[in-house]
Structure 1
């Protein structure tokens, strides 16, 4: 483990933007196989940066408007405690989950387990080679869940890429036994229609329900046929995970969902969901589903019931993820404009696209409605070579306030306050400068989450970061302690 040097904090000019069962996991012993990215959250390096754009970026660096290549800058209320670079797993770093003194980090080539008992010196406990795009990750008790959203030759961790047009190809959910953190065991696999881009768990005493989000069906894909207007619900018995099975495929869009272009130009056609966040204490879920945002009841987890549905056909291109506030009277939806492969934090795009949308929840019971209040987007200037867009984050548990930490790819980590739904504001940040000035490159934090007093971030290329936030507005959260955190399964922080 090495720590990157943190540069002195600059006075930066803000406001520039006008805007199958029983298998043993294959542990790393040799070079990892390459995983093939799928649409949405796909990592891409794109050429075509003009000479003038490169010159503008260099001028912005020289003037101090943006940090230099790979330079670290941050607000005065954030400290960079540690960075752990990639090691055995060379793929893209993705999502995070937490349990006790452990952090679990997804990677396109598998997953890594960190001991974070000393946040200043995270230590690698194990690395599991199990290639498959996304490798979205969750944990519950002795079980770890891993999403595979790239077509593979089989369901093993030794699989290779294979066209989705072949019937024998496999995508879906994998389940590991992590009772021995040093030697996780692969114990179950469940194939799901169109794979598993992300997943969300609903833990119960005897079972764990898994909501599988996937999308982009195609008539040439035998296991991913249109219409694909719902989610897969998997039931996993804790005592016998090898008996995991799909128990339902509820249709969430009986009318087919948002038609996208040409009816709604610039908006994704809804062919499934990208991500779902559940709030079990309130029997609620919020779905970010490509062209639609959903609020639904999970009182019966096998049969979710839609309460309300909203669209934003002016500024939202791709509904990517959702976060409830603690009182469950607000939802923050993110727009992944450009699919995680475009520079969107600039004057050309403006402040309302590629942003967060803040919605109040009004009414009661089945009559609740999602009511739009405002957009939030970081106003720290980014170079046109930097992929920057709203991505994964979590609330920071402070009574009486709505605070959130969020990843913005090369826009870095942002801490912001949406207590006033109509006037959100950033209160802290951490970011690195451009990876390069020669190409538009996907990099930066994929996820940034608050857990037991610290912010943990999984940077797509630079590795696992630990940040400490010291601010009177967020300090009360340091007293809140959790035994387990899967951000898409939001806890009730103050009623446990």
Structure 2
């Protein structure tokens, strides 16, 4: 947050990206026409996005989430906005259940009290609720804080989370990423605590017929090597469930891969990293599970880390052999960014096709990029849209938080602009599977 204090509010700009630099095969298709400059970390700017059918659920950093009708991708329409909760606000969805991450202790005594977000004073350094909020949205046009069903406290909070379906047991599991073990505090009335030696992620069980009974059902150790904890926490957890492949990867101090054949009891397989990466940010897999895709976030997402003079490692995506952890290759953002543009490779998703391995990524003010890594030793750029700096004179927080392929379109969730859509016309996405839903970090088959 200290870095953010140096930023200047973004100047208002026109919504949409017609006329931006980019490749001809990636065309702007629609937008929600929002303008929410991020002036500090107590603002309702936009975070990640999840999809269920023809609806998008977009997280709001300081505030809650909103529901958008994307049945016409060229003209997405906001249906409602829920005002409930503090940062970080990443969301997941299953049916009419919406899960939201809270990553700061809130001085609340009831579940509804976790909605009190009108002042930074709701935060506490001595302990309070942080974890997962669970909403049941019965009317998407009238969603509100009254739809909050319960909250589940998780140790050191929930920076992000990953939705893992478990239909055999009529439940969904939520893998909770804490990102950092701070501030430290003893156990609260909500069951969460935070200690410096975290070394795990937690699993929350949500019974689909009784979501109010959601609870933490497991602590998953991140493993040990020579008596020392392999990693202390996860920033994101990528999950693959496709034709017998059941894997998870914790993006933390190192990359930690698990077998999740039993999703409630992940089994440690291996860990790996590369010199120069201090902490991983996001992890995914090729749909056959053979390649693990990792990214990191130097500068915390608020710094300009993609200038021509920056080292390649700061603006790279890494491809590892899942079975061994051997680095196969890297893709480096080929377009230099300005000193006024916050930039790293941020959140990405894998296109659901067995024909090729293709990812779509958001890179803050570097925009949206499409990369073919079918040959991970020689990944290549397929398409891109890179807007001009939000403010040519001052460093601002803006740009693509994450970009995802969903049913024939690329959806970019943008920090200040809301939701942008793009149409990609390229053979690499031919045969991409239609999906009835999509959650960040969760890859579900069958594909292949």
> TM bucket by the smaller chain?
0.7 to 0.9
CA deviations over 1:87-106 (Å, ceiling 9, x no partner): 79952211111111111111
Q: CA deviation at 1:461?
A: 1.0
Report if the CA contact (8 A) 1:374-1:422 is conserved: yes
Report if the CA contact (8 A) 1:70-1:435 is conserved: no
For 2:40, the equivalent position in structure 1 comes to none
Q: TM-score, normalised by structure 1?
A: 0.79
Match of 2:158 among 196, 200, 212: 196
Measure, in 1, the Cα distance between the counterparts of 2:447 and 2:254: 31
The 3 A distance-change label for structure 1 pair 469 and 215 is closer
Measure, in 1, the Cα distance between the counterparts of 2:36 and 2:335: 34
For 1:14, the equivalent position in structure 2 comes to none
Match of 1:300 among 259, 262, 265: 262
Residue correspondence of structure 1 range 22-171 to structure 2 within 5 A = 44=4, 46=6, 72-86=20-34, 91-108=44-61, 109-154=63-108, 155=111, 156-159=114-117, 160-161=119-120, 162-167=122-127, 169-171=128-130
Residue correspondence of structure 1 range 299-318 to structure 2 within 5 A = 299-314=261-276, 316-318=277-279
CA deviations over 1:357-383 (Å, ceiling 9, x no partner): 11122xxxxxx3221112212111210
**Runs of 5+ consecutive residues of structure 1 not aligned to the other structure:** 1-38, 49-68, 259-269, 362-367
Measure, in 2, the Cα distance between the counterparts of 1:71 and 1:386: 19
The 3 A distance-change label for structure 1 pair 354 and 140 is same
Q: CA deviation at 1:300?
A: 2.1
Match of 2:185 among 208, 221, 225: 221
**SS of the residue 1:277 aligns to:** strand
**SS of the residue 1:283 aligns to:** strand
Report if the CA contact (8 A) 1:215-1:228 is conserved: no
**Runs of 5+ consecutive residues of structure 2 not aligned to the other structure:** 9-16, 38-42, 187-192
Match of 1:486 among 412, 415, 439: 439
Q: CA deviation at 1:45?
A: 5.4
Q: CA deviation at 1:448?
A: 0.2
RMSD value, Cα: 2.2
CA deviations over 1:55-81 (Å, ceiling 9, x no partner): xxxxxxxxxxxxxx9972221001111
Measure, in 2, the Cα distance between the counterparts of 1:386 and 1:493: 39
Residue correspondence of structure 1 range 65-464 to structure 2 within 5 A = 72-86=20-34, 91-108=44-61, 109-154=63-108, 155=111, 156-159=114-117, 160-161=119-120, 162-167=122-127, 169-184=128-143, 185-205=147-167, 206-218=170-182, 220-222=184-186, 223-254=193-224, 255-257=227-229, 270-281=231-242, 282-289=245-252, 291-314=253-276, 316-361=277-322, 368-464=323-419
Q: CA deviation at 1:446?
A: 0.2
Report if the CA contact (8 A) 2:348-2:403 is conserved: yes
Report if the CA contact (8 A) 2:35-2:416 is conserved: no
Higher CA-based Rg? 1
Report if the CA contact (8 A) 2:125-2:185 is conserved: yes
How many pairs are equivalent?
413
Give 1 or 2: higher strand fraction.
Answer: 2
The 3 A distance-change label for structure 1 pair 218 and 144 is closer
Q: TM-score, normalised by structure 2?
A: 0.87
Measure, in 1, the Cα distance between the counterparts of 2:402 and 2:201: 23
CA deviations over 1:467-490 (Å, ceiling 9, x no partner): 00111222332xx21111113110
The 3 A distance-change label for structure 1 pair 240 and 471 is same
